[in-house]
Amino acid sequence: MSNPQDVVRFRAGAGGPLSGVRVLDLSRLVAGNMLSVQLADFGADVIKIESASGDPLRDWTDDGQSLHWKTYGRNKRSILLDLRQPEGMEALEALLRTADVFIENFRPGTLETMGLAPDRLLQLNPDLIVVRISGFGQTGPYAQYPGFGTLVEAMSGFATRTGFPDREPVLPPLALADMISGIYGAQAVTMALLAREKGTARGQVIDLSLLEPMYAVLGPEAAIHRVTGKVKQRTGSASNTVSPRNVYLCSDGKYVALSGSMQVVAMRIFDIIGHPEMKTDPRFATNAERVRNRALVDEAVGAWFAGRPRDEALRIMREAGATVGPVYDIADIAADPHFSERGVIVEVEDAENGSLPMHNILPRMSGTPGGWRHPAPRLGEHTDEILAEVGITRPAAPAARKQRS
């Protein structure tokens, strides 16, 4: 644990470029929380609207603690509303009239069933930006399918490109599709806010699927398939675009990752590993030929790494101008001085643990940085405070089943 002076303290007055923007987050689990935490980190007043059972993200626990919620619930406020009751819906409508952004991730059609179709929302507040998160979008044959990231990671083409050719496709061990969609969503919200500020638009609806951002990050797969007629296959940690590029085992049992994606770097690597003749060998002289003969390239590069401990191999490669780095686990990251000095991970005050490491606020902005205003709220912690802000003093929320972080 860091020294007390190194712990980030929450400051209620910390601002940011989105200070004054009110966001109502009615979503659940990862994508919506990823979207709204980015807005919250930069000053937006993000109000998590929760039922008595709370956002299911609170139930993702490690050793009994909801560390996901502590990380992605930071800088937000929590209000309990029972939207099955007239009082809860009245409170929500009052909040919508004061909001800039509304985020939901119900199955398409659910919002309409609740009487909150986009037309109704924009009638309540013509300047409202409505973000509708779903697995496959609000339209199309798959709109009603359950929208979980696992399905999208499979159907986007990502899984079939991940893993080794003689094994099954590999899904990511984390909510990758949700995270990527959340980042796209935060970008969309800021663009919509800018358009509203410039007077080119008022309120609008953002149809944000998990599928499309996940597909987009795969790059020119469709164009490659059209032009070549081929479907790219799994290559493990190698690449079917550039060579050398792989993960290599060193003599001490540790791994390095190396990329020779530029011609000049590939030539340097052949010199370093003691095979300068490969630079003029027709099988390895160009990137296209190296890709075709990838197994031979990896055999030569792998043999060089296998004869050296990782630190020595990294030093030699880096001094010669090769692009190489260690394969880290989280323990390695925690011990690496670059992560510490750059503040990639920061110690943030936490009532339960004293402090907890979290990813820092991103991106880094010199003129309008984000800030740490308050920790992830307890379930319904700010209910009375938020209701009072819209002139409601009567109960509009149920009691939480249990008070949870």
Q: Is 3 a residue whose pLDDT tops 80?
A: no
Do residues 180 and 277 both lie within one domain? no
Distance in angstroms (rounded) separating the CA atoms of residues 301 and 189: 46
Distance of CA 51 to CAs 56, 87, 259, 338, 376, Å? 10, 13, 49, 42, 16
Residue 15 lies in a domain: yes
Give the per-residue pLDDT at 6. Answer: 87
pLDDT digits (tens, 9 = 90+) for 310-329: 999 999 999 999 999 999 99
Do residues 167 and 277 both lie within one domain? no
pLDDT digits (tens, 9 = 90+) for 156-171: 999 999 999 999 999 9
Q: Give the model's confidence band at 402: pLDDT under 50 very low, under 70 low, under 90 confident, else very high.
A: low
Residue 226 lies in a domain: no
Residue 245 lies in a domain: no
Query: Among 364, 363, 369, 345, which Cα is nearest to 355's?
Result: 345
Q: Give the model's confidence band at 14: pLDDT under 50 very low, under 70 low, under 90 confident, else very high.
A: confident
Query: Among 352, 357, 353, 365, which Cα is nearest to 336's?
Result: 357
Residue 45 lies in a domain: yes
Give the per-residue pLDDT at 2. Answer: 44
More confidently predicted of 146 and 278:
278
Count CA within 13 A, CB hemisphere, residue 61: 7
Phi/psi for 255 (5° steps) reads -110, 150
87 touches 398 (CB < 8 A)? no
- Active site residue ranges: 178
Give the per-residue pLDDT at 1. Answer: 38
* DSSP assigned state of 58: G
Query: Among 215, 208, 50, 41, which Cα is nearest to 139's?
Result: 208
Q: What CATH number is attached to the domain comprising 117?
A: 3.40.50.10540
Query: Among 77, 90, 74, 71, which Cα is nearest to 23's?
Result: 77
pLDDT digits (tens, 9 = 90+) for 88-111: 999 999 999 999 999 999 999 999
- Based on the structure, what is the number of domains in the chain? 2
Q: What CATH number is attached to the domain comprising 314?
A: 3.30.1540.10
Distance in angstroms (rounded) separating the CA atoms of residues 110 and 404: 27
Do residues 14 and 137 both lie within one domain? yes
Do residues 52 and 163 both lie within one domain? yes
Q: Is 24 a residue whose pLDDT tops 60?
A: yes
pLDDT digits (tens, 9 = 90+) for 380-397: 999 999 999 999 986 666
Boundaries of domain holding 266: 255-326
121 touches 128 (CB < 8 A)? yes
Do residues 67 and 150 both lie within one domain? yes
Largest CA distance in the chain: 82
Give the per-residue pLDDT at 395. Answer: 63
Residue recorded with tokens 């043999």: 303
**Edge-to-edge strands of the sheet including 22-25?**
76-80, 45-50, 22-25, 101-104, 129-134, 204-209
Q: Are strands 255-259 and 323-326 parallel, antiparallel or unpaired?
A: antiparallel
Do residues 172 and 100 both lie within one domain? yes
Q: Is 153 a residue whose pLDDT tops 80?
A: yes
Give the per-residue pLDDT at 397. Answer: 62
**What is the distance, to the nearest Å, from the Cα of residue 113 to the centroid of all Cα atoms in its chain?**
30
Do residues 118 and 184 both lie within one domain? yes
Give the per-residue pLDDT at 152. Answer: 96
Residue 89 lies in a domain: yes
Of all residues in the chain, the percent with pLDDT exceeding 90 is 93
pLDDT digits (tens, 9 = 90+) for 293-304: 999 999 999 999
Distance in angstroms (rounded) separating the CA atoms of residues 181 and 70: 20
Alpha-carbon Rg for the chain, nearest whole angstrom, is 25
Do residues 177 and 260 both lie within one domain? no
Do residues 176 and 292 both lie within one domain? no
232 touches 295 (CB < 8 A)? no
Do residues 59 and 134 both lie within one domain? yes
Do residues 145 and 276 both lie within one domain? no
Of all residues in the chain, the percent with pLDDT exceeding 70 is 96
Rounded mean pLDDT of the chain?
Answer: 94
Do residues 129 and 272 both lie within one domain? no
pLDDT digits (tens, 9 = 90+) for 37-76: 999 999 999 999 999 999 999 999 999 999 999 999 999 9
pLDDT digits (tens, 9 = 90+) for 210-264: 999 999 999 999 999 999 999 999 999 999 899 999 999 999 999 999 999 999 9
